[in-house]
Amino acid sequence: MSRIFEITERVALYAPKANLELINCAYVFAAHAHAGQVRSSGDPYITHPLAVAGILASLGMDEASVITALLHDTVEDTGVKLSEIEENFGADVARLVDGVTKIGQIHFNSSEHKQAENFRKMILATAKDLRVLIVKLADRLHNMRTLGFVPEHKRRRIGEETLQIYAPLAHRLGMHWIKQEMEDLVFSHLEPEAYKALMVEMQGRLEMLNQTRERLEMLIQEALQRKGLAATVHGRMKHLYSIHEKMQRKHVNFDDIFDLIAFRVIVDDAQTCYQALGIVHSLYRPVPGRFKDYIALPKPNGYQSLHTAVIGPENFRIEIQIRTHLMHSYAEDGVASHWAYKEGKTAEKESFKWLRQLTELIQETDNPGEFLENVRLDLFVQEVYVFSRDGDIFALPRGARPLDFAYAVHTDVGHHCIGVRINGEVSDFSTRLHNGDQIEIMTSPDQSPSRQWLQYAKTPRARQAIRHWFRRQERDGSIRMGEKILHEAIGKKDASKAIIEQFGCVDQQDLKARIGRGDIAIHRLLELADNKHFMPLKLRGMKRSMMQAADCCHPVPGDPVLGRFVAGDGMILHHRKCEALTEADFEDSLEVQWEGKPGELFSTGIEVHSKNKRGMLANVTHNIAEANSGIEDLKLTQRGGAMTELLFLVEVEDRKHLAQVMRAIKSVDGVTSVARRNRVGLSGKPVGKPFAATLRNLFSRKLLEHGDETK
Q: Could you give the residue numbers annotated as active site?
A: 76-77
Backbone angles phi, psi at 647, to 5 degrees: -110, 125
In angstroms, the CA 619 to CA 671 distance is 10
For residue 413, CA distances in Å to 301, 360, 370, 440 come to: 26, 19, 23, 11
Burial of 489 from C-beta contacts in 10 A (0-12 / 13-18 / 19+): buried
Virtual torsion, Cα 689, 692, 696, 699, nearest 10 deg: 120
Looking only at Cα atoms, what is the longest distance across the chain? 105
- CA 442-444-449 angle, 5° bins: 95
In angstroms, the CA 176 to CA 174 distance is 6
In angstroms, the CA 419 to CA 409 distance is 15
In angstroms, the CA 143 to CA 392 distance is 43
In angstroms, the CA 53 to CA 135 distance is 8
In angstroms, the CA 27 to CA 50 distance is 8
A 10 A CB-CB count for 344 gives 19
Task: Report CA Rg, the chain.
Answer: 35
Burial of 629 from C-beta contacts in 10 A (0-12 / 13-18 / 19+): buried
Nearest to 20 by CA among 59, 52, 49, 53: 53
In angstroms, the CA 565 to CA 470 distance is 19
Nearest to 66 by CA among 122, 11, 130: 11
In angstroms, the CA 384 to CA 176 distance is 20
Residue 73 CB partners (closer than 8 Å, separation 6+): 30, 34, 45, 48, 49, 104
For residue 670, CA distances in Å to 609, 612, 646, 674 come to: 9, 8, 13, 11
Cα-to-chain-centroid distance, residue 642: 59
- Name the residue type at position 628: N
